[in-house]
Amino acid sequence: MRQSFGLYLLFWAVVLAGEAQAGCAQGQEVFTSCQIEGRDTEVFVCFDDHIATYSYGPTGGPAELVLSETIERVDYKPWSGSGISIHENITFYNGDYAYNVGGGFDRPFSEEDMQSDIRRFGWVEVTESGVPAASLECVPDTVSYGFGGGLHDLKQAAGLAWDSYSFTWVSQDIQPRPTSILRANPSVDPREYCLPATEFSLGGVRMGDSLRVLGKLGSPEAIDADPMGRGQAIDRMTLVGLEVDIFQETVVALSTTSPDWKMPSGLRVGLTRGEVIRLLGTVPNGYTATASSFASHVCMDNAVSDPEWTMVIDFGQNNRVDNIYFVNASY
């Protein structure tokens, strides 16, 4: 039975994938495709060794929207290995919009099931800034889904591994830490994690640095006449990909949306959530492995005199770091 079941799945994977091959560019394979229920439109997701491509448009006509992403960065989620059906999905991004396309079929669990027609299904879900904008269902008989190998093998060949904890891919070059960077914060609560002050640095620019140290990088400009009513302006130094806020000639905030500015641990914009968790060593208190942001306070040896720094990491809708910023809560 086990052998016949495996051959059955292989047979249907080949059949379902082959039906859509004509809709893919030469040299590409199908991931999934279908005609949309209630609309005279169709969707194709195809791939080769380098890129994955999404196309949507009138049935049999030219595509109205085509999006591509490299195999390494494409947001593909493999089958979990459980449940009554085999299904996978992939998401493409275009500005604030995300296009999630999925396909699958029911698994047979008996000889009788193996003799019956297979049930296919698929979908296209569109969101704008994370808010649902459209939900389209596939005409079942038109669903093509190339289960097996494919994108999963290409991801692994690119040096990536699927992390079912964070539901993201992680580079095999980023190995889990033996001990976490985050540690207990005894001056506040031993059950709360904190981040060492040495990590509050981006590309060598550190929280608490003096303006004298930063002088070689440029000159700051006032951005607010007197935000805290202290008789002194907040100044900002804008570098390529980094903003540095200065108060009383001391750095009180750092912010970047560029992968060129890294924390000492290697944390940077563009990493997946799973890669961030590996570099931190654990998930910060109060957050889950699938949260849209992480935050942590600086470890303070003296709760009265030490600065009140906070790190915030924001993840975009593509599950990668979109922004890193540090702020001194006292200002």
User: Cα–Cα distance between 285 and 235 in angstroms, integer?
Assistant: 32
Angle at 143 between CA 137 and CA 146, to 5 degrees: 125
CA 20 vs CA 36, 44, 58, 65, 96: distances in Å: 14, 8, 15, 18, 29
Residues in a beta bridge with 94: 97
Helix (H) or strand (E) holding 89: strand 85-94
Show the low-confidence residues of the chain (pLDDT under 70).
1-22, 108-116, 148, 186-191, 224-232, 301-306
Query: Coil, strand, or helix at residue 78?
Result: coil
Q: What is the dihedral of CA 256, 71, 97, 132, to 10 degrees?
A: -110
Q: Which of 328, 167, 325, 305 is nearest to 258 (CA)?
A: 325
User: Cα–Cα distance between 22 and 19 in angstroms, integer?
Assistant: 7
pLDDT of residue 43: 98
pLDDT of residue 190: 63
pLDDT of residue 2: 39
Instruction: Tell me the helix, strand and coil percentages in the chain, rounded to 5.
Output: 15, 40, 40
pLDDT of residue 9: 46
pLDDT of residue 225: 53
- Tally of helices (H runs) and strands (E runs) in the chain: 5, 23
CA 13 vs CA 31, 47, 105, 138, 143: distances in Å: 10, 16, 9, 18, 12
CA 271 vs CA 133, 146, 321: distances in Å: 27, 28, 5
Query: Coil, strand, or helix at residue 79?
Result: coil
Query: Coil, strand, or helix at residue 116?
Result: coil
- 284: alpha, beta or left? (left if phi > 0; alpha if psi -120 to 50): beta
First-to-final CA distance of the chain:
68
pLDDT of residue 7: 39
Helix (H) or strand (E) holding 211: helix 211-214
Q: Which of 152, 104, 97 is nearest to 129 (CA)?
A: 97
What's 118's DSSP letter?
P
Tell me, yes or no, if the pTM score tops 0.75. Answer: yes
User: Cα–Cα distance between 204 and 200 in angstroms, integer?
Assistant: 9
**DSSP annotation string for 268-323:** -TT-BHHHHHHHHSSPPTT--TT-SEEEEEBP-SSTTTS--EEEEEEE-TTSBEEE
Q: Which of 129, 29, 30, 69 is nearest to 43 (CA)?
A: 30
pLDDT of residue 223: 76
Amino acid at 68: S
What's 25's DSSP letter?
P
User: Cα–Cα distance between 34 and 49 in angstroms, integer?
Assistant: 22
pLDDT of residue 184: 82
